[in-house]
Amino acid sequence: MSKPIRKAVIPAAGLGTRFLPATKAVPKELLPIVDTPTIQYIVEEAVAAGVHDVILICARGKDSIVDHFDIAAELEATLERSGKTELRKEMRRIAQMAQVVTVRQQEPLGLGHAVLCAKALVGDEPFVVMLGDDIIDARVPATRQLADCWERHGLATIALMEVPPAETSMYGIAAGRALDERTTRIERLVEKPKVNPPSNLAVIGRYVLPPRIFELLEQVTPGVGGEIQLTDALAMLAREEGLLGYRFEGDRYDAGDRLGYLKANIAFAMKRPELAGPLRQYLGELL
Ligand code: G1P
């Protein structure tokens, strides 16, 4: 039987240039969707999938992300004094839901390099890589869906989603042999193909991987954009021991894109009973 997934690696070292000036002093991972930082949605998904250890790949100036997952004693005391007990408990829950550790990616050498920075902390066990820009709203957390596939087949599993043909150059694109309605045995994997994409199945930022990926990442030479690409190591893994793609069930938002971020805010606000009515009315008036 495959080992359970207990560790998540979350790259959070990017500059967030698409969100400047907001990200000049605030890490993009802390920008809120409604009232909750985007990174918290990711960590909640990890925890809901059974993860306990979260390894954040950080960079200079991003330490406040770690503060979000620490105990804020003064804040909690103030909330308690003013009778906001529920809010105080919620702050404590956020601090205790996972063990969060960080490692710094000292140079921006690419996603593959960022993941490689977690090698020593992950050690000899399977883990999940979760990209903070991909927010997935699903009945069964997307990471859980992938972990189930990994446990069923004993093979590394990455998230896939169909995208319009015009968007294939923005993603890793996979093609292969369908095993069932949702599962594909990946035979080709290309990072951001400019021409001739092998399909319109895009890689979305959830990857359940064996520790072998670290050795492959060490062999990868700079690819698209001169960066060490995770996709290139995954293509090696596909050839070596096999790789599955899983078309997850759920709604995915690209929170790394301004329009995607706005859509996520509206969609998540519509799920809040206290906001849904007034927001619907306001949007009706606006449009
Ligand atoms: C990364 C990966 C790409 C994947 C995408 C999903 O690209 O390199 O293969 O399709 O995430 O969001 P990025 O969007 O970070 O450039």
Residue 156 included in any domain: yes
| 268 touches ligand 1 (CB under 6 Å) | no
Domain assignment of residue 170, given as a range: 7-256
Residue range 71-77: average pLDDT? 97
- Percent of the chain as helix, strand, coil, to the nearest 5: 40, 25, 35
| 231 touches ligand 1 (CB under 6 Å) | yes
Helix, strand or coil, per DSSP, at residue 86: helix
Structural tokens at position 159? 């998230």
pLDDT at 282 over 80: yes
Whole-number Å distance between alpha carbons of 58 and 199 = 33
Look at ligand 1, atom 10, and give the residue with the nearest C-alpha: 171
CATH number, domain containing residue 24: 3.90.550.10
pLDDT at 103 over 90: yes
| 29 touches ligand 1 (CB under 6 Å) | no
Residue 183 included in any domain: yes
pLDDT score recorded for residue 2: 78
Token pair 């977690």 is at which residue? 118
H-run or E-run covering 236: helix 230-240
- Under the phi-then-psi rule, with left for phi > 0, alpha for psi from -120 to 50, and beta for the rest, what region is 216? alpha
On average, the pLDDT of the chain sits at: 97
Residue 140: pLDDT band by 50, 70, 90 thresholds? very high
Which range, of 40-44, 59-63, 69-73, averages the lowest pLDDT?
Answer: 59-63
Token pair 């090696």 is at which residue? 236
Domain count, the chain: 1
Residue 68: pLDDT band by 50, 70, 90 thresholds? very high
Q: What is the largest CA-CA distance in the chain?
A: 62
Q: Choose the residue to mutate in 131, 158, 206, 234 for probing ligand 1, maximizing ligand atoms within 8 Å of C-beta.
A: 131
pTM value?
0.97
- State in Å: Cα 170 to ligand 1 middle: 7
Residue 274 included in any domain: no
pLDDT score recorded for residue 200: 96
Residue 280 included in any domain: no
Residue 282 included in any domain: no
Q: Choose the residue to mutate in 15, 129, 133, 220 for probing ligand 1, maximizing ligand atoms within 8 Å of C-beta.
A: 133
Half-sphere exposure of 127 (CA within 13 A, CB side): 25
| 131 touches ligand 1 (CB under 6 Å) | yes
Structural tokens at position 58? 């950080």
Residue 281 included in any domain: no
Residue range 227-255: average pLDDT? 97
Residue 184 included in any domain: yes
Residue 168 included in any domain: yes
Residue range 101-116: average pLDDT? 96
Which range, of 14-18, 54-58, 175-179, 206-210, averages the lowest pLDDT?
Answer: 14-18
| 253 touches ligand 1 (CB under 6 Å) | no
Residue range 81-105: average pLDDT? 97
Q: pLDDT exceeding 90 applies to what percent of the chain?
A: 97
pLDDT score recorded for residue 1: 59
Ligand 1 atom nearest to 191, measured from its CA: 9
Q: For 250-263, how does the pLDDT look when each residue is reduced to its tens digit (9 = 90+)? A: 999 999 999 999 99
pLDDT at 3 over 90: no
Token pair 């009945």 is at which residue? 139
